[in-house]
Amino acid sequence: MQVQCPVCQMTVDSDHLALVYQRMHFAFCSSQCRERFEAAPHLYVGVPGEKAPKQKGQEVLKRRCLRLEVAPTAEQGQLIVEAVGAMMGIRQIALEGTEVRITYDLLETTEEQIERTLTEAGSRLGSAWTERFRRAVVHYTEDCEAANMEVTDRPRHHHG
């Protein structure tokens, strides 16, 4: 029997990577989708009277731009793009010079899963690449924190 993966909506065999949650049977297209479901099942399973975000057809698009210390070669770049692009929930990946820009649906994948995939791809490219990806993630996090603290002259909204 065929059922839909609750995370990405792919049709799968009902016994593929199956689990029972709150007496309901679920099957998943990949270990990535099963892991995502197990981390936050109520993104996919509603409660009486209210559908979950995924059941409503919602997408939560996130964009990440990681800066690498060294630009990958064309072959290395292809491996990176293919590895991340094969993940469920990746809407776009672009590699230009030292920048890796990724757009993904948070309801289908997480930044942690993307980092893990980049690390695995890095290990295939050589030990230096694993460290380059780790540093790129750290720099991204620090860049976001610094940007959030910046003082700007944007007008503030006053209520009243």
pTM: 0.80
- Per-residue confidence band for 153, with pLDDT thresholds at 50, 70 and 90: low
Q: 128 and 75: one domain?
A: yes
pLDDT at 84 over 80: yes
Higher pLDDT, 145 or 138: 138
Q: 34 and 113: one domain?
A: no
pLDDT at 155: 55
Report the number of distinct structural domains present in the chain. 2
Range of the domain at 86: 61-149
- Per-residue confidence band for 160, with pLDDT thresholds at 50, 70 and 90: very low
Q: 84 and 35: one domain?
A: no
Instruction: Judge whether 3 and 16 are in contact, CB under 8 Å.
Output: no
pLDDT at 134: 83
SS3 content of the chain, % helix, strand, coil (to 5): 40, 20, 40
Q: What is the mean pLDDT of residues 69-98?
A: 94
Instruction: Tell me which H or E stretch contains 138.
Output: helix 127-149
Q: 87 and 24: one domain?
A: no
